[in-house]
């Protein structure tokens, strides 16, 4: 059977021609992506790297968060899934896969851009899982806006609340519960160092996430809690079809990378697993770039 360890050419491992133009309202659904994304449903093979761990994954319903949640479960972790209420269907699909892996799935719909809801999400996860030792912050908001004149304060606020404030609230709320050995993984972007002109607010939040993570990693290292970052390049997810990119850019999406195509969420899940697992125990404050070969600082 093919799995993530199967030797293959990354250049043509997945779709190399462009994606069809499409648009979804709201956060978008994995169930409506055309073509569907690969989250490792049929391929991710666990090897007990996270046995008995208790994870909270934000944005776990779709895209990169879904791939991480599936991988965590197959590596032996129970997983609490945070997502927006509009994404209930996607979240239930992920919960079924977590349970099929023999692990507990906890469904936590809520808007983490609202402080009370973000903090409540963490408390519910701790309560349902009986503790917490792995926090993967994957949720994010990205809305393209070509002209600064059209970037509203409302959007600027929402992007910062979702991508930066929620991280602060969630990590702060989780800290009292995280034991030595716990791992926090935040999700940045190639946009942090190579910002696109139409993603001014989003790219700025992603650089903030990098810097917040590096500061926090130093603060928490003596307590045995590690903080690392995964920085994706272009991945085929609902975020990109729900206003993350101009619709007409989708046919070219990802083709600017040296590998020449967009990534699939299944291809980034192993980065989260590595940073979650004790095998990366001497690594903190670092950023793992998974971006098809684009140069990073």
Q: Which does 122 bind (CB under 5 to 8 A by kind): ligand NAD, Mg ion, none?
A: none
Q: Are 193 and 236 in contact (CB under 8 A)?
A: no
Among 55, 68, 142, 271, binds ligand NAD (CB under 6 A): 142
According to the binding rule CB under 6 A, does residue 292 interact with ligand NAD?
A: no
Listed in order, strand segments (DSSP E) in the chain are 54-58, 78-83, 105-109, 134-137, 183-187, 226-232, 287-290
What does 159 interact with, of Mg ion, ligand NAD, none (CB < 5 to 8 A by kind)?
none
Binding partner selected for residue 140 from ligand NAD, Mg ion, none, CB under the kind-specific 5 to 8 Å limit:
ligand NAD
3-state helix vs strand vs coil in the chain, percent to 5? 45, 15, 45
- Is residue 232 a contact point for ligand NAD (CB under 6 A)? yes
Omega of the bond prior to 288 within 30 degrees of 0, cis?
Answer: no
Task: Kindly provide the b/e burial profile for residues 209-247, where b requires at least 16 CB atoms within 10 angstroms of the residue's own CB.
Answer: bbebbbebbeebeeeebbbbbbbbbbbbbbbbbbbbbee
Q: Which of 14, 19, 27, 53 binds ligand NAD (CB under 6 A)?
A: 27
Tell me the per-residue interface mask from 35 to 74 with ligand NAD, x by CB under 6 A, - otherwise: -----------------------xx-xxxxx---------
Binding span for ligand NAD by CB under 6 A among 7-15, 122-130, 133-141, 280-288: 133-141
Structure tokens at 230: 């995964």
Instruction: Return the number of the residue (68 or 220) whose C-beta is nearest Mg ion.
Output: 68
Instruction: Give me the catalytic one of 202, 272, 274, 282.
Output: 202
> To the nearest whole angstrom, how small is the minimum distance from the Cβ of residue 193 to ligand NAD?
12
Nearest partner of 136 among 182, 200, 76, judged by Cα:
182
- How far is the C-alpha of 106 from the C-alpha of 85, rounded, in Å? 14
Judged by CB under 6 A, does residue 145 bind ligand NAD? no
Query: Does position 187 bind ligand NAD by CB under 6 A?
Result: yes
In 3-state terms, what secondary structure has residue 59?
coil
Residue 292: which of 12, 67, 6 has the closest Cα?
12
Mark whether 202 is an active-site residue: yes
What is the C-alpha R_g of the chain?
Answer: 18
Among 237, 264, 277, 284, binds ligand NAD (CB under 6 A): 237
List residues near ligand NAD by CB under 6 A.
27-28, 58-59, 61-65, 83-84, 87, 111-113, 138-142, 162, 187, 189, 232, 234-235, 237-240
Q: Would you please indicate which residues are annotated as catalytic (active-site) residues?
A: 202
């Amino acid at each position: 059977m093919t799995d993530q360890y199967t030797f293959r050419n990354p250049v043509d491992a997945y779709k190399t021609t462009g994606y069809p133009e499409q648009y979804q309202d709201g956060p978008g659904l994995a169930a409506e992506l055309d073509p569907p994304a690969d989250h490792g449903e049929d391929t991710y093979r666990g090897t007990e790297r996270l046995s008995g761990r208790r994870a909270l994954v934000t944005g776990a319903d779709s895209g990169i968060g879904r791939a991480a949640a599936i991988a965590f479960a197959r590596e032996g972790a129970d997983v609490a899934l945070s997502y927006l209420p509009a994404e209930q269907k996607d979240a239930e699909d992920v919960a079924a896969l977590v349970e099929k892996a023999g692990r507990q799935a906890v469904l936590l719909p809520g808007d983490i851009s609202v402080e009370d809801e973000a903090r409540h999400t963490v408390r519910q996860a701790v309560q349902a899982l009986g503790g917490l030792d792995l926090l993967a912050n994957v949720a994010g908001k990205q809305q393209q806006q070509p002209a600064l004149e059209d970037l509203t304060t409302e959007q600027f606020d929402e992007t910062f609340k979702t991508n930066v404030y929620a991280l602060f609230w969630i990590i702060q709320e989780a800290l009292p519960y995280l034991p030595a050995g716990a791992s926090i993984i935040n999700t940045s972007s190639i946009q942090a160092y190579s910002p696109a002109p139409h993603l001014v607010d989003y790219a700025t939040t992603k650089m903030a996430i990098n810097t917040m993570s590096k500061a926090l990693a130093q603060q928490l290292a003596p307590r045995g809690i590690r903080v690392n970052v995964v920085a994706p390049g272009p991945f085929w997810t609902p975020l990109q079809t729900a206003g993350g990119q101009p619709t007409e850019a989708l046919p070219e999406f990802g083709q600017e990378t040296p590998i020449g195509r967009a990534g699939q969420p299944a291809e980034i899940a192993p980065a989260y697993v590595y940073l979650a697992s004790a095998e990366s125990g001497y690594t903190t404050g670092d950023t793992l770039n998974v971006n098809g070969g684009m140069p990073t600082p």
